[in-house]
Chain A
Amino acid sequence: MKRIQKIMTTVATACLMVGNVLAQEPINGLTIIENVYNRAQPQDQQGVLTMSLINSRNEERVREIRQFIKDDQTVKKKIMFFLSPADVRNTSFMNWSYSEDGREDDQWIYLPALKRTKRISSEGKSDYFMGSDFTYDDLGDRRPAEDVHKLVREESINGIACYVVESTPRDDEYMYSKTITWIDKEKWIGVKKEFYDEDGHHLKTLTVTESKKIGNYWMITHSEMHNLQKSHRTRMLLKDITVDQGISDSQFSERMMMRGL
């Protein structure tokens, strides 16, 4: 009996030692990206998104969108109503994104000129959203498993201590050959991201200029995407944000797309 107790004590001690060793192991790239991906998010949110498209001559075009988002962990629904410019006013766009691996998003657009809702393909992730420097993929939540992540260093940006993670896509056909992200160690949000094109050249840099705590959640409110190869930029400003207001499922429907705001 004493022999059995001794063996069990030895095994338990060994397990504790292994656990301690694991706990002390430095954090890796995948864990960092998963922490960002799994950061607490509101069940629903709404706000007004202003996109300023600035060309190489510093001429500016402004698009304003009111968006509603609801996430029940299995499906994330987003509906956007275009407020300006005048020629796209009352256009709406809806996206249903699924947590299930491999399942494509469902997307619809309502064009007031056609007065009907059209289903569109969600395959065009590399298309630029409304002529901005953000692709549809840039605006979505890319799953950590889609890339290989490597922690390359730790450094501070504007006094913010960051992890710097290089992410290389598993899919060779992906539009970027790699991205490098600076992640705030405290808030688990990205503060800067560099995008490299298929030839490995630096294409774009995303800089987060402001993030705010709305309710219990850290959210990016000001950001700018700079396309270095074409010398144009897109500033994105999110305002009038409310979270966890209990937005009804019926908000994400053909009825609302057609009715508008």
Chain B
Amino acid sequence: MKYIVIFLLCAFVYTQAQPNISGMVRNYTALRLQDDPEFAMLQNTFRLDFEKKSGKGAFVTNLYAYQYGTDVVPEIRIKQLFADVYFNSLDFRLGRQQIIWGKADGVFITDVVSPKDLREFLLPDFTEIREGIDALNTSVYAGNHTFSLVLSPAFRPTTQPEDGSIWKPEMDLPVNTVRIDTTRQDVPLKLSNSEAFFRWSAMLSAVDFEIVGAWMWDDEPALHLNKLGHPTSSGFVLDSLVISPEYHRLAMGGGAFSTTLKGLVLKGEAGYYYGKMFRTSDPNYSDGIVEGNYFHYMAGVSYTLAGIDLHGQFIQKIILDHDDFFLDEQYQNMITVLIHKSVLRETLHLDLFSYIGLNDADALIRPTVAYDISDGLKATLGANIFLGDSGYFGQFDDNDMVYVKLSYSF
């Protein structure tokens, strides 16, 4: 039924508005490197974009259909479906929309508006990692300054990997008997549960900057624990564990900038988060969760040397009021490196992108070679190499893979 509705919607939009239609078809095949290699991904994607614009407004949809393996029925995802209304110094955008903030590449600091789809970790294209949110986005323009207010009545969390997925992080639990209680994870659709985001951005000759604030829900649930056991003469013996995912309110204030200096592009981004739920082993917190604040920032630089684009970022997360019971380290440090070169009149693109975790000496290395066979037709050969034994990237050390993508844009 859902597909019929979407088809009818597309047909209606086309016949009524005669919009610009574009899109992309892609095959993505990934092979997981292990003793007996298995296909980590067999995916066909069809993206369809409708766009109807005028000086007074616009209507935009981005529909994705993902077909996996031998599945017959594709998974349909509406990334964007919104209408714009333009005035002289004021725009309204209403509907599902992807909103990207901040200056950092590949990491999320003040980029908190659109939730993420992490079912395939950080590997998909970034435009596909970002989900749309249903919101009213109001922007006021004054010269080169923009003031935006985003109000979202419906909280949409980050999509986590499903049970059994190779991207599901393993939890180190003290017992084998575990039950997941999902009764607390719903956020009812009420006005009081709305999210609000504010941004003041400016694009000036000397510097670009943005100041942001958010009163939102944490996109990732806190995992509250209920320990069930029985007392013995030697103490409490744990029999089983009930894990209750629950979303909590989170406030954030921050900003970002970028500027140029003698061929260098310098950029920075920082966010202060108030009310984050952290995991703790402190016996005073029986559900294993403690509220705290943290500071997250990035400093980055880009430079082009002999036609090779070089980008580096240092990212640090600092948990304030940290103690020894926290399961997360107080200082979490990471760097990212991107090296890019295009040759053959910009038809052959060579990239090497790496996340390097400094706390656990782990990394994700992503080399790719992409060739534009003809306009719109592109072949990409790449690899995802996880290094380390633990840490955010090292936990997936068994998931090294090579992949091929063939895409056609129209």
**Cross-chain contact A86 with B410 (CB below 8 angstroms):** yes
Bound-complex Cα distance A58 to B366 (A): 35
- B345, A261: Cβ atoms closer than 8 Å: no
Question: Inside 8 A of A117's CB, which chain B residues have their CB?
Answer: 203, 208
Contact with A along B169-206 (1 / 0, CB 8 A): 00000000000000000000000000000000101010
- A121–B144 CB distance below 8 A: no
Q: How far is the CA of A61 from the CA of B345 in the complex (A)?
A: 11
* B373 to A: closest C-beta gap in Å: 11
Q: Which residue of B is nearest A234, CB measured?
A: B345
Q: Does chain A have a CB within 8 A of B127?
A: yes
Given contacts A86-B22, A121-B304, contact A254 B146 (CB under 8 A): yes
Bound-state CA distance A114–B146 (Å) is: 19
B residues in contact (CB < 8 Å) with A: 22, 24, 53, 58, 84, 86, 91, 98-103, 125-127, 130, 139, 141, 144, 146, 201, 203, 205, 208, 258-260, 262-265, 267, 302-304, 307, 342, 345-347, 372, 374-376, 378, 409-410
Task: Name which residue of chain A comes closest to B374, CB basis.
Answer: A61
Contact with B along A97-122 (1 / 0, CB 8 A): 00000001010100011111111111
A260: CB under 8 A from chain B?
Answer: yes
With a cutoff of 8 Å between Cβ atoms, the chain B residues found around residue A86 in the complex are 22, 24, 375-376, 409-410
Add 9 more A-B contacts to A84-B375, A96-B205, A119-B258 (CB < 8 A). A113-B127, A114-B127, A115-B130, A119-B267, A122-B260, A130-B346, A131-B346, A253-B141, A255-B141
Report whether B144 and A253 are in contact in the complex, using a CB–CB cutoff of 8 Å: yes
B139 near A255 with CB under 8 A, answer yes
Min Cβ gap A137→B in Å is 14
- Whether the Cβ atoms of B139 and A115 lie closer than 8 Å is no
Q: Which residues of A contact B (CB under 8 A)?
A: 53, 55, 61-62, 84-87, 89, 96, 104, 106, 108, 112-124, 127-128, 130-132, 232, 250, 253-255, 259-261
Report the Cα distance A131→B343, complex, angstroms: 8
- Which residues of B have CB within 8 Å of A89? 22, 409
Please tell me if the beta carbons of A121 and B302 are within 8 angstroms of each other in the complex. Answer: yes
- Tell which of B53, B304, B342, B378 touches A261, judged by Cβ atoms closer than 8 Å: B53
Residues in chain B near residue A127, CB distance under 8 A: 304, 307
How long is the Cα–Cα vector from A73 to B30 in the complex, in angstroms? Answer: 55
- The interface residues of chain B lying within 8 Å CB-to-CB of A61 are 374-375
Nearest residue, chain A, Cβ from B263: A123
> Is there an interface contact between A114 and B126, defined as CB atoms closer than 8 Å?
yes
Q: A residues within 8 A CB of B262?
A: 123
User: How many A-B residue pairs lie within 8 Å, measured between CB atoms?
Assistant: 98
Quick check: A115 and B100 within 8 Å, CB to CB? yes
B108 to chain A, nearest CB (A): 13
Give 21 CB contacts A-B under 8 Å.
A61-B374, A85-B409, A87-B24, A87-B375, A89-B409, A113-B126, A114-B126, A115-B98, A117-B203, A121-B303, A124-B304, A128-B345, A131-B347, A250-B141, A253-B144, A254-B146, A255-B91, A255-B141, A259-B53, A259-B86, A260-B53
Chain A residues with Cβ below 8 Å from B303 are 121
Residues in A whose Cβ lies below 8 Å from that of B86: 259
Contact of A115 with B127 in the complex, beta carbons under 8 Å: yes
B126 touching A121, Cβ below 8 Å: no
Nearest-neighbour CB distance to chain A for B372, whole angstroms, equals 8
Most A CB atoms within 10 A — which of B98, B203, B208, B378? B203
